[in-house]
Structure 1
Amino acid sequence: MAIHLARQIWTTLEPLHDVVYFGTGVKEAGVAIGLRGYWQTYFAFRAAPLGAVTPATVLATFAGFHPEMVRKALPEAWSRATPEQCLQVRLDLSTTLLRDNGAGDAECARAVELLAPVQATADLTGRPLAAANAALPLPADPVGALWQLSSTLREHRGDGHVAALVTHGLTGRQALIMQVAAGKAAESVMRQARGLSEREWSDAFDELRARGAVEGEPANPALTGSGAALLERVEASTDEAAWNGALAVLSADAVTELTTSLAPLVKRLLDTVVPPLNPTGMVRQ
């Protein structure tokens, strides 16, 4: 089966964006401006385009995190560092990490040339994280500009994915289990990364099992036939929303050029920065 063009672009842009989560020095960069530890840095950096938002906003937009995990980070983070500080530090750090992993000005500038019109014409309806990122000024540095565009389009896809989950009657927690059951992440990584107890994970598993979507055990779930079909519909909706809502302005040749030119950088990031077991759904090929 042919891979949707939107998914091809996602597998290229997601690792670029992910340096802000998995790169060396992320926690230290947050601590340097007053933030407390990795998770406070994560929530503050990712939420910063929205402003000094409440935990409720983050829970609604990020999807799947335990409320107490978010409340441990926010709003305290905003008393330690402003959103503006977080935006500058995350951009500087991500630009450095990409350049340290071989990102060159020429290929990044060309990728920016291809992606800037996508952001400029993207439909941001119902996509708060994408809209907030798109409103940020594009850096003059081509590596930084590519990171920012990658982040906007990554969040655009993510916002659409959350909408697809809601449309298909899945909660954020249930979606995590579906990804594990599909072999795209490990239970040990996904559950801990979202702050869920074994009991909370098990309860969400039981909800899906009652729906006929999964079987097996909570720590090692498997999709049923109907569960696989459900996940396929969610992913297809996500791809279509990402394509029709933004990426369709790219020609097939432009998609090929973008993915091909950035392939060496993406491979380096997957080999050295993005962990093999991660909660983003990024699977090494």
Structure 2
Amino acid sequence: MERQMWQLLEPIHAIVYYAPEVFEEFAKLGYDVETRWPSYFALRSAPLGTPSAELVASAFYSFNPKMVAEHIPTIASQGDILAARLRGVDRALRRLLGDRIDSRDLAEAAELARKVAEAVDTVGRPLAAANAALPWPAEPHLVLWQAATIIREHRGDGHIAALLTAGLDGVEALVSFAAVGAAPVEVFASRQWSDSEWAAAQARLQERGWVDADGNATPLGKEGRENVEKVTDSLAAAPWRVLGPQMGRLAQLAGPVTMTIVQSGLLPMQSTLGIGR
């Protein structure tokens, strides 16, 4: 159930990386918004303060560190970035949700999601901790977005722990996920590992028996990836227990918000998370 709830809330968080309103706010700060990545690294890493490229590469895990270094350090202050991303999300959600922005259902969804986010244990989870330390906005739609962000970074931090436990480095994590058909290899190319780095990771996984000569997952590889997801689910489960049977109520309330975002066409058809539009 934890995996389904993450998949339900992920699009609410993800609009921060795709909404034109966010790009407009970041253009005002001097960012190149013709492509996604210059603003992405600033948007996601800002809660960490002014982190080094090494710290961001560690926390983001599956990105080529050379790619990270191209975009870190950022060109605006932490305060300006955090304010711009909240303004952009505010404008985007107001446009997408219209009159529902002031609805009781949205306020209730925000309240329930915040309960989960505030129950998150951030020990050993840097991105979750950094986002959880930010002040809560007043408006329910922004509370829902911030809660979704904390919850997804909590899960993501745990996912890295699961990958490390399975002995998968950043590029091997992508190769093994592509091997089970989570998304085409071309989608994972966005992390900018070179062809030679990808091939070397594939060779290492073939030696372990996780993939065949064509890069497709073997039974061992499929089992290994499913174990990664199970460990991730287990590590993400604790905060959801605060809702008990109200988890279904949150799903009922957040579902229309997520569907509106998905149907807007803002999000990509496929992603490196294995979630498709």
Give the structure-2-normalised TM-score: 0.93
1:25 to partner: Cα distance: 4.3
Supply the distance in 1 between the matched residues of 2:181 and 2:256 (Cα, whole angstroms).
Answer: 25
Tell me if the contact between 1:11 and 1:282 (Cα under 8 Å) persists in the aligned partners. yes
**Structure 1 counterpart of 2:129, which letter?**
A
**Structure 1 counterpart of 2:237, which letter?**
W
Q: In the alignment, which of 177, 194, 198 is matched to residue 197 of structure 1? A: 194
Gaps of 5+ in 1: none
Instruction: Name the residue aligned to 2:89.
Output: 94
Alignment of 1:193-232 (within 5 A): 193-217=190-214, 221-232=215-226
Is 2:80 aligned against 1:82? no
Tell me if the contact between 2:117 and 2:148 (Cα under 8 Å) persists in the aligned partners. no
Q: What is the total number of aligned residue pairs between the two structures?
A: 271
SS at match of 1:101: helix
Instruction: Name the residue aligned to 1:256.
Output: 248
Tell me if the contact between 1:8 and 1:259 (Cα under 8 Å) persists in the aligned partners. no
Tell me if the contact between 1:216 and 1:222 (Cα under 8 Å) persists in the aligned partners. yes
Is 2:266 aligned against 1:282? no
Instruction: Name the residue aligned to 2:105.
Output: 107
Instruction: Name the residue aligned to 1:270.
Output: 262
**Structure 2 counterpart of 1:33, which letter?**
L
Tell me if the contact between 2:116 and 2:147 (Cα under 8 Å) persists in the aligned partners. no
Supply the distance in 2 between the matched residues of 1:203 and 1:41 (Cα, whole angstroms).
Answer: 30
SS at match of 2:237: helix
1:8 to partner: Cα distance: 1.5
**Structure 1 counterpart of 2:276, which letter?**
V
Is 2:58 aligned against 1:60? yes
**Structure 1 counterpart of 2:30, which letter?**
G
- Rate the CA distance shift 1:94–1:216 in 2: closer, same or farther, 3 A: farther
SS at match of 1:264: helix
Supply the distance in 2 between the matched residues of 1:197 and 1:29 (Cα, whole angstroms).
Answer: 32
**Structure 1 counterpart of 2:118, which letter?**
A
Give the structure-1-normalised TM-score: 0.90
Supply the distance in 1 between the matched residues of 2:216 and 2:96 (Cα, whole angstroms).
Answer: 36
1:215 to partner: Cα distance: 1.9
Tell me if the contact between 2:11 and 2:261 (Cα under 8 Å) persists in the aligned partners. yes
Instruction: Name the residue aligned to 2:68.
Output: 70
**Structure 1 counterpart of 2:85, which letter?**
R
% identical aligned pairs: 38
CA-atom RMSD in angstroms? 1.5
